[in-house]
Amino acid sequence: MLSPQQIAHFDTFGFLLLRQAFSPAEIQAILQEAEELWRIEREQRHLGPGYLTMAPFIERRPALTRLAEDDRIYDAIEDLLGPGFLWAGSEGNTGVPKDKTFLPWHSDRAGEETPNYRRAKIMMYLTPVRRETGCLRVVPGSHKPPLYHELYPLNSQQDTSSEQVFAVSVANLPGFPLETDPGDVVIFNHYIYHAVVGGDEKRRYIAMKFASRPQNEAQVDLLRKSSASIFKPDEVFLRSDRPRIRAMVDGLVELGAQS
């Protein structure tokens, strides 16, 4: 359970960092499961070493699926998004794209007139990441207007977007580096502006996405436009006998089918 101060931090700045939520032994077990998934994917697709992203991810292994219902994840998301929140999928990434030294500044949910529908993403880095080696950088408070709208020109996501809009490089645009070690958990509002600088073949992370349960048709439309896959949850979740897992996907297929 999050403290009132932690919830206030997320509400105000758009992100939260939970230090050492998972033990070294737990992270090692998670990493082994993840590495096996990446290995199998490379073999099946005849891929060599290098960058690889997979989605869905944690749904493919029972030991990883349990992360979604773990108290340290589940309770935190419930505190931030409210009861009845929805599962929006997962991904697993290893390495960095070839010859790509940064990920440009952007919002995952850009261009909404009123960015007040709560959605959150959890990042679990399985290797240490620092300011210049691939940690997530965020612009605190950019999940809310007016800053959310003022930063919109960055969403072209060109390599030179930062220079064109603000005459500074990606690395020099004012932002807060969320430097983490394995065991830390990053939670950020899907509207917040973020970027990545650096990273290498050792970089590993798992991401999990969640959304508050829609309260009106407008919010359902937002999901259809930006997260349509949420209405097609993995069969592992749909058939699960785990109450928390099932609750996150119950009614999603029917909701997506509504006109």
- Say what the pLDDT of residue 253 is: 87
Average pLDDT over residues 196-213: 95
DSSP state string for 172-185: TSS-EEE-B-BTBE
Instruction: State mean pLDDT over 37-52.
Output: 95
Residues 53-97 have pLDDT tens digits of: 999 999 999 999 999 999 999 999 999 999 999 999 999 999 998
Does the pLDDT value for residue 28 go beyond 90? yes
pLDDT classification of 5: cutoffs 50, 70, 90: very high
Total structural domains within the chain: 1
Query: φ and ψ at 157, to 5 degrees?
Result: 55, 35
- Whether 186 has a pLDDT exceeding 90, the answer reads yes
Rounded Cα distance between 175 and 138, Å, is 5
**Domain, as residue range, for 78:** 4-257
Report, as an integer, the average pLDDT of 125-134: 96
Does the pLDDT at position 52 exceed 90? yes
What CATH number is attached to the domain comprising 234? 2.60.120.620
pLDDT (average), residues 192-196: 97
pLDDT at 257: 76
Q: Quick one: pLDDT band at residue 101, thresholds 50, 70, 90?
A: confident
Q: Residue 259: is its pLDDT beyond 60?
A: no
3-class SS at 245? helix
Q: Which pLDDT score is estimated for 99?
A: 78
Mean pLDDT of the chain: 95
Gap between the Cα atoms of 174 and 98, Å rounded: 26
pLDDT at 130: 96
Answer yes or no: are the C-beta atoms of 58 and 68 closer than 8 Å. yes
Q: What is the b/e burial string over 70-96, where b = at least 16 CB atoms within 10 angstroms of the residue's CB?
A: eeebbebbbbbbeeebbbbbbbbbbbb
Per-residue pLDDT averaged across 100-128, rounded?
Answer: 95
Q: Which of 12-26, 40-54, 133-147, 244-258 has the lowest mean pLDDT?
A: 244-258
